[in-house]
Amino acid sequence: MKKESTQTKNGKAFEYAILKEFKVKLERATIVQVIENSALLTAQKHFNSFDKTEQGEFLLYASFAVNFLIDIEPRLSNSFDESDILQLEILTDDKGQDGDVRDVVAIRLLQKWEIGVSAKNNHKAVKHSRLSNKIDFGEKWLGIKSSEQYFNEIKPIFDSLEKMRNESNKTKTWKSLGDYHSTIYTPILEAFKRELLRIYNTNPSKVSSTLVEYLIGNKDFYKVIKSKKDIEIQAYNLHGTLNLPFKEINPKFNTPKINLPTEIKNISYKKDTQTTLIVELNNNWTLSFRIHNASSRIESSLKFDINLLKAPNSLFTNKLSIEANK
């Protein structure tokens, strides 16, 4: 649990650093307004919990990313007039539940334009979704209800976990179950796989694209990934709303639109594992779904660690070396 809270703390601090750098750099060129909300206060609190040296490092990485984004998004620094205000906002975490993975957004209401940034600190996972007998992943992810058969298959397993948890006063561990990968993980993954294919067959093209949009993000965004020596920027231009010109001012680099998938080609287990499904789609998309327990003690739900293994060649990616510029 400590690791997760540290990751959250770092992630929130990085979000705040990005917003701060946007403000500092852009208010020289345009009128900037920061939206004050609970997410901003949380991010600021985490940023302020670091010492000045660590804060400086967050700001250095954020500065590199923001400079590059200003180059490829002319609307950040260019306005129609003084009433064309650039608003900066850190989104609350509940937005991610609806498929909006952006953390920091820049909005121009007058231009009916916005862009968003998903800030990642040393990790590239796209989503951490849960499965349980109370969660309808079909409806939540894809807008199509999961079948009664699916719930009939998973309910006895999750009910059994809940019973063991309660009877042990929440002390029973996964380790005490022995080979729980084959007795719990595999049956649940099998039920999930069958249900995903059933839902897919109701509307293959729509389900394929919606799956990727839910997991990757249903609104176009830039993913900014902070690593030890570099910062990577990826442009998820799924709907063509990124990288737009402002009047005659064009972006310095082009981030092409990416084709969403229209079919699931295969779902199989990762080699030599009982815990990870590989979902291969057309247009060069591949996702991995690793099921795991988030705690050493038994819970009545399981977590997916979902990663993007392969994306279309048109996904714009740029890596900036920080070490060489320090």
User: What amino acid occupies position 306?
Assistant: I
How confident is the model at residue 120, as a pLDDT?
Answer: 86
Mean pLDDT confidence for 42-66: 96
User: What amino acid occupies position 288?
Assistant: S
1: pLDDT confidence band, cut at 50, 70 and 90? very low
What is the value of pTM for the model shown? 0.86
Mean pLDDT confidence for 80-91: 96
Find all residues with CB under 8 Å of 97, minimum gap 6, and list them.
none
The DSSP line for 29-48 is TS-EEEPP-HHHHHHHHHHH
Q: Which residue, among 224, 244, 227, has the nearest Cα to 235 in the 3D structure?
A: 224
2: pLDDT confidence band, cut at 50, 70 and 90? very low
How far is C-alpha 25 from the chain's CA centre?
Answer: 26
Q: What ranges in the chain are assigned the alpha helix state H?
A: 2-26, 38-48, 52-72, 137, 148-167, 180, 186-202, 204-216
325: pLDDT confidence band, cut at 50, 70 and 90? low
The 10s digit of each residue's pLDDT in 145-201 is 999 999 999 999 999 999 999 999 999 999 999 999 999 999 999 999 999 999 999
The 10s digit of each residue's pLDDT in 212-257 is 999 988 899 999 999 988 999 999 999 999 999 999 999 999 999 9
> Is residue 125 over pLDDT 80?
no
Question: 3-state DSSP call for residue 105?
Answer: strand
